[in-house]
């Protein structure tokens, strides 16, 4: 593991700097929009442009990598992202900002695709999970620490925009100068959101709603803070509190999900993510425990995406994982785009408190989705056996084919998870194996008889 980290240090340092710049950029634009008098709903649309770009960039980047390679794509994305933030410092206009946010999102999607595929190439099956965990930790730390750079200069000037451009440009240097060869890139079969929904409706629904909450937090959190009268330093602390909560809870939540089950953890996280913002909604920001509540909210909200991924991957065949990951990014992109727009409109109509109210509503929907999924699984083996005479375990014959019926409990689980076809295939393979074993036994018996006859003769 240590060897892989040392081999990837340039990539990890570069990603850390990129995320510092990206974390600062999102908060800076929200604060500057509020200072310029943008409507909250308009700011929501502008900030959603980043996630529109992320969605498009994640689909386009693999084709670009196939054509020109990892290094050229990374350099191009970093250069364009560096320029786009400078354009926003010159033209203070919602339309221009929306276009530049789309461009920035597409560029960062390209950077993430290049970086993660490169990192995956350096990892092995034995250490890939640990290495990617370190990568995600660096990403979260970068996004969180970038908030505090808001205190370096006044948001009303161009200095912070220039600082972001410098960070993004410098971040590409270690990766561009690395001596390690670029990995080969192989595209996988694509999977639509509808096909992914058939694999796991809960994973798709919860992931899209979680994306809406994340988009709301990063797109409108600073707007809420500025409109609530926070100072620049308080805005930075407020936004960093969400990331701090995620850092503290990510590992324990993952550990618990391995032991208690993903669905149970998803339910408890969704309940906490629905209740906590309601408490914060009616808590004055002047209270000493206000930021503590925000940290708790971040601790519940931020691990939801990884839980959705883990829940989905537990139910996928290995050959579908790559395609499903792309579809999950697209699903999350839909939520990330719609969240700031819808919640921003609610904030304009009903007040800034609906920043937290919108998050609460989103996770109430997640709670309902998990409960619905749990209800679908409440099919016991006894109920199935009492409803159909063909379910008891044992050999069942027919004029067309003979097969071994699955155990009723296995059938109950397969029925709940819509995996009957896979279970039938497994039963057919078992029958085929049994037939082959019987044939081998018969052949062995024939040989033994022939040997016995020869001995008697």
For every residue of 235-292, DSSP letters joined together read: HHHHHHHHHHHHHHHHHHHHHHHHHH-HHHHHHHHHHHHHHHHHHHHTS-TTSTTHHH
The secondary structure of residue 184, as a DSSP letter, is P
Provide, rounded to the nearest whole percent, the portion of the chain with pLDDT above 90: 20
Q: Is the pLDDT of residue 386 over 50?
A: no
Q: Is the pLDDT of residue 48 over 80?
A: yes
Q: Is the pLDDT of residue 392 over 50?
A: no
Q: What does the block give as tokens for 78? A: 């970093």
What's the mean pLDDT in 298-319?
80
Q: Is the pLDDT of residue 296 over 90?
A: yes
What's the mean pLDDT in 218-237?
87
Phi and psi torsions of 200, nearest 5° = -160, 100
Which pLDDT does position 358 carry in this prediction? Answer: 94
Which pLDDT does position 75 carry in this prediction? Answer: 83
* N-to-C CA span, the chain: 68
Distance of CA 93 to the CA centre of its chain: 31
What's the mean pLDDT in 24-52?
87
Least confident of 12-26, 59-73, 192-206: 59-73
Q: How far apart are CA 28 and CA 21, in angstroms?
A: 10
Q: Is the pLDDT of residue 182 over 90?
A: no
Cβ proximity of 167 and 21 under 8 Å: yes
Which pLDDT does position 355 carry in this prediction? Answer: 93
Which pLDDT does position 364 carry in this prediction? Answer: 95
Q: Of 8-12, 149-153, 453-457, give the range with the top mean pLDDT.
A: 149-153
User: What sign for the dihedral angle of Cα 80, 81, 87, 92?
Assistant: positive
pTM for this structure? 0.68
**Residue 256 or 129, more confident:** 256
Q: How far apart are CA 29 and CA 46, in angstroms?
A: 9
Which pLDDT does position 181 carry in this prediction? Answer: 60
Which pLDDT does position 184 carry in this prediction? Answer: 59
What's the mean pLDDT in 81-98?
93
Write out pLDDT tens, residues 129-172.
556 567 777 887 888 888 889 888 888 889 999 999 999 888 87
Which pLDDT does position 81 carry in this prediction? Answer: 92
Q: Of 27-31, 160-164, 230-234, give the range with the top mean pLDDT.
A: 160-164
Tell me if 1-181 shares its fold with 189-378.
yes
What's the mean pLDDT in 75-90?
91
Q: How far apart are CA 113 and CA 216, in angstroms?
A: 23
Q: How confident is the model at residue 390 (pLDDT cuts 50, 70, 90)?
A: very low
CATH topology of domain 189-378: Growth Hormone; Chain: A; (1.20.1250)
Least confident of 70-79, 133-142, 291-300: 133-142
Mapping DSSP to helix (H, G, I), strand (E, B) and coil, where does residue 204 land? helix
Mean pLDDT of the chain: 77
**Residue 257 or 34, more confident:** 34
Q: How far is CA 379 from CA 111, 209, 370, 384, 426, in A?
A: 45, 27, 16, 7, 21
Q: Is the pLDDT of residue 187 over 60?
A: no
Longest CA pairwise span in the chain (Å):
108
Q: Which CATH class is domain 1-181?
A: mainly alpha
Least confident of 275-279, 293-297, 424-428: 424-428
Which pLDDT does position 397 carry in this prediction? Answer: 29
Q: What is 289-313 written as a DSSP string?
A: THHHHHHHHHHHHTTHHHHHHHHHH
Q: Is the pLDDT of residue 3 over 90?
A: no
What's the mean pLDDT in 367-394?
54
Least confident of 71-80, 146-155, 177-186, 448-457: 448-457
Q: What are 402's strand-pairing partners?
A: 397
**Residue 438 or 332, more confident:** 332
Least confident of 120-124, 243-247, 404-408: 404-408
What's the mean pLDDT in 114-133?
61
Domain boundaries, given as residue ranges, for the chain: 1-181, 189-378, 381-456
């Amino acid at each position: 593991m240590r060897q892989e980290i040392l081999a990837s240090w340039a990539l990890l340092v570069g990603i850390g700097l990129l995320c510092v710049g990206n974390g600062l950029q999102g908060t800076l634009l929200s604060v500057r929009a509020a200072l310029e008098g943008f409507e909250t709903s308009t700011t929501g649309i502008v900030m959603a442009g980043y996630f529109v770009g992320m969605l498009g960039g994640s689909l386009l980047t693999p084709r670009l990598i196939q054509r020109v390679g990892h290094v050229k794509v990374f350099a191009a994305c970093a250069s364009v992202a560096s320029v786009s933030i400078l354009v926003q410092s010159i033209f203070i206009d919602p339309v221009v900002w929306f276009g530049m946010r789309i461009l920035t999102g597409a560029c960062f999607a390209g950077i993430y695709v290049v970086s993660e595929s490169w990192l995956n190439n350096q990892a092995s099956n034995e250490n890939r999970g640990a290495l990617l965990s370190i990568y995600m930790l660096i990403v979260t730390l970068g996004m969180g620490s970038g908030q505090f750079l808001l205190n370096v200069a006044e948001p009303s000037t161009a200095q912070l925009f220039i600082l972001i451009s410098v960070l993004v440009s410098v971040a590409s240097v270690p990766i561009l100068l690395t001596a390690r060869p670029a990995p080969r890139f192989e595209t996988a079969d694509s999977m639509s959101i509808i096909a992914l929904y058939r694999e796991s409706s809960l994973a798709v629904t919860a992931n899209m709603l979680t994306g809406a909450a994340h988009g709301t937090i990063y797109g409108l959190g600073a707007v809420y803070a500025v409109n609530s009268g926070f100072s620049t330093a308080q805005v930075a602390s407020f936004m960093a509190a969400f990331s701090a909560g995620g850092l503290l809870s990510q590992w324990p939540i993952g550990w618990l999900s391995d032991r208690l089950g993903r669905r149970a953890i998803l339910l408890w996280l969704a309940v906490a993510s629905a209740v906590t913002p309601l408490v914060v909604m009616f808590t004055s920001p002047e209270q000493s425990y206000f930021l503590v509540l925000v940290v708790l909210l971040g601790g519940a909200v931020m691990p939801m995406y990884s839980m959705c991924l883990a829940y989905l991957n537990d139910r996928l065949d290995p050959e579908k994982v790559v395609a499903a990951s792309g579809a999950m990014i697209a699903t999350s992109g839909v939520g990330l785009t719609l969240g700031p727009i819808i919640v921003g409109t609610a904030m304009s109509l009903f007040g800034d408190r609906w920043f937290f109210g919108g998050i609460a509503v989103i996770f109430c929907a997640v709670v309902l989705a998990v409960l619905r999924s749990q209800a679908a699984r409440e099919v016991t083996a006894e109920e199935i056996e009492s409803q159909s005479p063909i379910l008891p375990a044992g050999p069942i014959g027919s004029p067309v084919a003979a097969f071994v019926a699955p155990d009723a409990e296995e059938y109950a689980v397969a029925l709940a998870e819509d995996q009957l076809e896979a279970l039938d295939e497994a039963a057919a393979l078992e029958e085929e194996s049994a037939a082959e074993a019987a044939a081998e036994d018969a052949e062995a018996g024939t040989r033994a008889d022939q040997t016995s006859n020869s001995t008697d003769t």
